[in-house]
Chains A and B, each alone.
Chain A
Amino acid sequence: MTSLQPADRLAGLPRLGVGLSYQAPLRGFVLEHLDSFDFLELIPDIFWADQGRGAPDRYRESVDAAPFLARVAASKPLIAHSVGLSIGSGDPFDAAHVEQIAAWQERYGFPWHSDHLSFNRLEHVTGHFMDTGVTLPVPFDHEVLDLLCERVDRVQARIPVPFLLENNVYYFEIPEQDMTEAEFLNRLTERTGCGLLLDLHNIYTNARNLGFDPWSMLASLDLSRVVEVHLGGGMEVDGVWLDAHSGPCPEEVWAMLEEVLPRAPRLCGVVFEMFGNYYPQVGPEPLLAELGRARRVLERRAA
């Protein structure tokens, strides 16, 4: 059970500013351009090899992770954005993963941490570790909401800093759902007191591909729970807009950020996401440009 009033959980968080989402090919950029961002968001799961549930010594941490992270952590706050919990999975809750995140939270002092509102792992049914590599949607149903609320409570009971869930990108809609996505997210954050990691490019992608109005979705979302925003770019392939994190943010996403800011009093960080494999082709300039633009938007709001 939650021990605090839901609204209290997000109080007093540090306003970190502009964050960069870390990917291995960005290691050089991170060390050379430390001034271009205020904090580094990392996917902790890329720094260890998960041997699967029940395996002895389950999380084998890569040997070069600690020196690099310690170096960045000396000058910038770190935030964890995990892909390993698979919180929407029908599998039993993965308490060992939460323990691993708790250990890293203690080590690196993440002011908050997050994961994806989706499922990508199914181990119980298949009897062996399986990860689709794609965050698949869960039905926005009452039953799933109950399951998620209970799991969010367990994460929050174990890790002493706020937990955020990120709205998913999905390319198809599950028919006959009990709620809209906005209703589902509103109830989830209200019932558990968790925060929302609002990925605006995910909303843009979903709206563009599935033909709904992103502005009316934003209008019906309770943005008071937003602690972090994700920005990113994509590309069109065969008529489908992909959340590829392949380059600059579309103008409409910047406009969505402007819409969100005055309605998100608890917002503490805006993170730009770019898939590392594009970095060798595009170089540092687009990253610097997007981080700089995000900073100017935040500064204008603060003024």
Chain B
Amino acid sequence: MSLQAFQQALTDLVMSPALRARVAEDAHGQLAGYDLSEQELRRLAALAADPRVRTPTFLHRAFRLSMLANTVPRTCKVLGPGGIRELTHAWWAAGPPRTMQYLKEAQLFADFARGRLRDGSFQNDFLEEVLDTELAMLALGRSGLTWEPGTRPVPDDLAFRVLHLHPACRAIAWRHEPDAVLAALDAGRPLDGLPSGDHCLLLAAEGGGRLLLKTFRGEPARALLAVDGARPGGEICAAHGVPGRVLAELLEAGWLGSTVQ
């Protein structure tokens, strides 16, 4: 019996209407796992049946939802009210908030959403690419790193050098035209019927919180998405059907860097 156990049970009741319903039926059984005094049990049993506890539940959920709405607003638009309800309720049922940091909460939500997309229990054609893009935007915006335009010298031995993205850049795989999707979301237009096709959206932090967005298709897109900071240029060319000239252009533009193996 301790204040901690009481507060843990109270918090669980606030976060879960389902637990409240079960405790209202059988307080002793449902709360047996908490180390509670008789008085604490009586208090919690009364609160489980108290409809006023619905308000802190609502406020707690609004808080968690605001963490997503403030960090990944376009993802919320992609999901729409029905999708948000379905996915967030499943997400909240999976566990309490483990962080006060909005970015971290959004990342944990993203992991959860990707898992649901992968196992087929949730479907949305645009979710993953928009979510990945928004998370990358947030991470880059906070990184303090800067990419600067300009041409860079290209080393002769590119095939043997390990390639990596510029640290102030992120490459996101898209299965639709990124500009069309982002413009539709910002204008509040539906996404249905937007053309599909493999693209790479490259994000570059320009300093002062500004981000440059550039869309690539075909060979450069495949190259940007294949670069992993581990494989040399020659291997990437062979594995992804990318000519060496494409890698050289990306290096010259400063999107990629290289190191000697």
Contacts and interface: CB of A to CB of B under 8 A. Distances in A.
A129 B3 contact: no
B98 A129 contact: yes
A119 B7 contact: yes
A136 B10 contact: yes
Interface stretch (A11-19, A170-178, A194-202, A213-221): A170-178
B39 interface: yes
A122 B47 contact: no
Contacts of B144: 63
Among B2, B4, B58, B144, the most chain A Cβ lie within 10 Å of the Cβ of B4
Contacts of B97: 130-133
Contacts of B8: 90, 122, 125-126
Interface residues of B, number: 34
Interface in B104-120: none
Interface in A232-285: 237, 240, 242, 277
Contact of A130 (B52, B66, B96): B96
B193 to A, nearest CB: 32
B53 interface: yes
Interface in B28-79: 39, 42-43, 46-47, 50, 52-53, 55-56, 58-60, 63-64, 66
A209 B51 CA distance: 12
A136 B42 CA distance: 18
Contacts of A132: 11, 14-15, 60, 63, 96-97
Given A90-B3, A125-B4, A125-B8, A136 B56 contact: yes
Contact of B47 (A63, A172, A210, A240): A172
Contact of A171 (B55, B63, B98, B100): B55
Nearest to A121: B100
Contact of A134 (B2, B4, B7, B14): B14
A124 interface: yes
B4 A122 contact: yes
Contacts of B15: 132
Interface residues of A, number: 37
B55 A242 contact: yes
A175 B56 contact: no
Contacts of B7: 89-90, 119, 122, 125, 136
A174 B100 contact: no
B6 interface: yes
A210 B52 CA distance: 9
A144 interface: yes
A175 B60 contact: no
Interface residue SS majority, chain B: helix
Contacts of A129: 98-100
A175 B53 contact: no
B62 to A, nearest CB: 8
A125 B5 contact: yes
B46 to A, nearest CB: 5
B101 to A, nearest CB: 5
A142 B10 CA distance: 19
Nearest to B8: A125
A172 B59 CA distance: 13
A33 interface: no
B47 A174 contact: yes
A125 B46 CA distance: 23
A45 B185 CA distance: 32
B14 A175 contact: no
A253 to B, nearest CB: 19
A171 B56 contact: yes
Contact of B4 (A63, A124, A172, A237): A124
A175 B66 CA distance: 31
Contacts of A89: 4, 7
Most interface-central of B56, B60, B63 (chain A CB within 10 A): B56
Given A129-B98, A134-B56, A176 B47 contact: no
Contacts of A90: 2-8
A146 to B, nearest CB: 11
Nearest to A84: B100
B67 to A, nearest CB: 8
A138 B7 CA distance: 8
A174 B43 contact: yes
30 contacts: A45-B100, A49-B100, A90-B2, A90-B3, A90-B5, A125-B7, A125-B8, A126-B8, A130-B96, A131-B99, A133-B59, A133-B100, A134-B14, A134-B59, A134-B63, A136-B7, A136-B56, A143-B3, A144-B3, A171-B52, A171-B55, A174-B43, A174-B47, A175-B42, A175-B43, A175-B46, A209-B52, A209-B55, A210-B52, A242-B59
Closest 4 CB pairs of A and B: A133-B63, A90-B4, A90-B3, A171-B55
